Amino acid sequence: MDDVGWTIIAALVMAVGLAGVVVPVLPGILLLWVTALVYGFAVGFGPMGIIVMIVMTLGLALSFASSVIVPKQAADQYGASTLSQWVGLLGAIIGFFVIPVVGLPIGGLVGVLGAEYYQLGDFNAAWRATKGVARGFGKSALIDLAIGLVLVLAWAGWALTVIT
């Protein structure tokens, strides 16, 4: 396969990866990174490819860090206990398998709400903590979307140097 063919395939997979940033069932930032890596092996890295892979690796690390830090900070800020955060994680895992596509966030939020209500006995306080966790995940998703867009644009710049 020639460089143009590899570029077209990579662009299609990149589109799926970018959609995966928004839709929790699809892989997101990691798929972008893996696609760029495979693309580099297929067409050759060259100086531009090396720079883009460094940028993409930094973006991947930033995405992983923000996916943990931002929701945790929001949960702490809005008063969600550590136990509730763990129950929310368990709920997200269960929800992912029980309700395809939307189960992950629903399960996580139901887990936080239930654990907070169980601990506090106050629905309003439990709801406030749950909304805080939801905001944290929303901010994290927006950060991932911004990272994903930057990574796709960086790859596109590299791809243009390959096919022209």
pLDDT score, position 123: 95
Residues 118 and 83: beta-carbon distance below 8 Å: no
- Cβ(70)–Cβ(127) under 8 Å? no
pTM of the predicted protein model: 0.85
CB atoms within 10 A of CB 98: 11
Digitized pLDDT (tens) for each residue of the chain, 164 residues in all:
899 999 999 999 999 999 998 876 677 999 999 999 999 999 999 999 999 999 999 999 999 999 889 988 999 999 999 999 999 999 989 998 998 778 888 999 999 999 999 999 999 999 999 999 999 989 999 999 999 999 999 999 999 999 98
8 A C-beta contact, residue 11 and residue 31:
no
Question: Can you read off the two tokens belonging to residue 54?
Answer: 């460094």
What ranges do the domains of the chain cover?
A: 3-163
Structure tokens at 52: 């883009």
